[in-house]
Structures are given as C-alpha cells and as structure tokens.
Amino acid sequence: MSSTQLDATFSALADPTRRAILARLSSGEASVMELAEPFKMSQPAISKHLKVLEHAGLISRGRDAQRRPRRLEASPLADATQWLEKYREHWERHYQQLDALLEVMKLSDSNSRKKKKSVKKKEIASHERQTE
C-alpha cells in the first residue's frame, strides 16, 4: 500500500460520521438517502463524506437501474490493518521485555527484603546477647 493511499485511508477513518457510514455498509450496500437517514445533516454533506470514502477506496458506487448504491471495499482496510500489525508486533515485543525486566526487579526486591530481615534478626539477637 502506498503512503498516499494509507494517508487517505486513515484520514477517511478519522471522522466518526464516515466510520458510521462504513459500519452501515458492512451490512450491505445502501443508497445515499439510506446512508443519510440516521444523520442530522443534508444530503450534500453526506455526499461530501461519501466522496472522501470513495477517494480513499473504502467504498465504491454501483449501478442498479436508477439507484447508485454504495458498497464497502475491504481492501484498503485490510492494507491499513496489515500496516498497523507491524507496529503492534513491535510494541508487543517491547512489552514482553518490560514484563521480564519487572519480574527481575520484583525478584531482586524480594531477595533484598529477605536479606534485610535476616540482618535485622541478627542485630536483634546480638543486641539481646549484649544486654544479658
């Protein structure tokens, strides 16, 4: 996926109205009027959102007699997911390393406390012997 295509995909996904339109289209194609129905905005405003989604390749326009239904195109979403997956794997490795470090620190702290308790007991015993 090109950087320009990836930018267009994430830009389109940045808007909650466009994400809602994609969610609606995930259940099947719909006309502009059907897509505009749940929103309190004009048909031209919805059309602008649809143009952004079309430009990003996230939806396509069909032809059904007089209707021009829109449908979801999954390929750009799959490409964006693949791009994000690389970073998820990267951070997952770092979190695993951090978990391992924290475990070492926890064991070290536990050992340190045990040593302090042992030293404290020896000091108390030594003090008791001196006071006898």
Q: pLDDT tens digits for the chain (132 residues)?
A: 788 999 999 999 999 999 999 999 999 999 998 999 999 888 899 999 999 999 999 999 988 777 789 999 989 999 999 999 988 888 888 888 888 888 888 888 777 777 777 767 777 767 666 766
Does the global pTM surpass 0.75? no
Q: For the domain covering 3-73, report its CATH number.
A: 1.10.10.10
Q: Which two tokens stand for residue 128?
A: 């008791």
Q: Where are the domains of the chain?
A: 3-73, 75-132
- Work out the widest C-alpha separation in the chain, in whole angstroms: 107
User: What would the two tokens of residue 116 be?
Assistant: 């302090």
